[in-house]
Structure 1
Amino acid sequence: MTTTSTTAAVSQEITAACADFLYREAEYLDHREFDRWLGCLSEELVYLMPIRVTRGPEARDLEFSPTGFHMKDNYASMKMRVSRLYTEHAYAEDPPSRTQRLITNVRVDALDASDKYDVRSNFLCYRAQGDGVDSDLIVGERFDVLHDTADGWRLASRTVRLAHTTLITPNLGVFL
């Protein structure tokens, strides 16, 4: 089912609840509480990170690829990725990343479904590994659908649009 934004005003209470959800989600990820983070995800999750288009005639009309992705996941694949983080087979996360996420500019609109909201936010993710001085700053905008359920807020979908044209990190072993 496709939902679309409406122009109906969203209460400050709903906006604050959505922002609080995003802040807690960032905290879980920064503290490597991946099982708690999985609890924030809806089983209908669609998680996309399209590649930015920068060459060719399509770059004039299309900023992000509809078919090429850095990440294209669902709830099952996210669950599998989290499970692997707790094993010795998470090579990209050995040693584990130290992250600090900043979430800003949270904007909320109502969707046709009365319990779902279109939530946009900007993010900055600092990432470092080991004891070296190298670090990455990953910046972008997120387009989320948050679902207010009887069990609390859940992330139903996320599209991450990186500000970068080329990934500046050696791997994407972290969730954005």
Structure 2
Amino acid sequence: MITEKNITDFIYREADLLDTMQWQAWLDLFHPEGRYWMPLEWQQQDPVLQPSLMYEDLLLLKVRVERLAGERTFSQKPKSRCHHLLQAPQIVACDPEAGSFKARTSYIYSETRGDMLERFSGWASHDLVQVDDGLKIKLKRVDLVNFDAPFGNIQLFM
């Protein structure tokens, strides 16, 4: 049975996998129908009919990970690094019978490459589903506080 601790541990583990660049292990957290979404507008409801900063299925995530891990990716010399500072995740919905769970986590995210350092803050929402005895990401939604600001290239995943 999935508990609130399982959910919070899952979210902390996901951030750690990103911070330590364990890309394949991170991709393995996604459900085959999983999505990674970064809306362009406050309280945006539709990732398809409205523009988004990112809206990627598992195939696009895999392509981005291959680019990040590639030796011939010259835009990643030196490699980007990141750090997630998370508040304790809030469990928004917990339905063990349906195998469906939702959590929302406030965070500060730092990304660096060479002498460049960028910081972002916002909220990560996880829609999780139970698969066998574990959890998989059905949707990860990243809402930035300054979603309407001009951005440089965000290289990694928040």
How many Å apart are 1:36 and its aligned residue? 0.9
Aligned to 1:121: 105
- Assess if the C-alpha contact under 8 Å between 1:15 and 1:107 holds in 2: no
Q: Report SS of the residue matched to 2:9.
A: helix
Matches within 5 A, 1:68-147: 68-108=51-91, 109-111=93-95, 114-130=98-114, 132=115, 134-147=116-129
How many Å apart are 1:52 and its aligned residue? 2.5
Aligned to 1:3: none
Root mean square deviation of aligned Cα: 2.2
Q: Determine if the alignment matches structure 1 residue 161 to structure 2 residue 143.
A: yes
Aligned to 1:171: 153
- Of 64, 77, 82 in structure 1, the residue corresponding to residue 44 of structure 2 is 64
How many Å apart are 1:100 and its aligned residue? 1.0
How many Å apart are 1:80 and its aligned residue? 1.4
TM-score, length basis structure 2: 0.85
CA shift in 2, pair 1:65/1:42, >3 Å: closer
Instruction: State the alpha-carbon separation in 2 of the partners of residues 26 and 162 from structure 1.
Output: 16
TM-score, length basis structure 1: 0.77
- Of 27, 30, 50 in structure 1, the residue corresponding to residue 16 of structure 2 is 27
Instruction: State the alpha-carbon separation in 1 of the partners of residues 75 and 94 from structure 2.
Output: 38
Instruction: State the alpha-carbon separation in 1 of the partners of residues 74 and 100 from structure 2.
Output: 36
Q: Report SS of the residue matched to 2:120.
A: strand
CA shift in 2, pair 1:151/1:124, >3 Å: same
Percent pairwise identity: 23
How many Å apart are 1:22 and its aligned residue? 0.8
Deviations 1:76-133 (A, max 9, x none): 1111111121214545433211211012141111259621101111121111112x2x
Between the two proteins, the alignment pairs up a number of residues equal to: 153
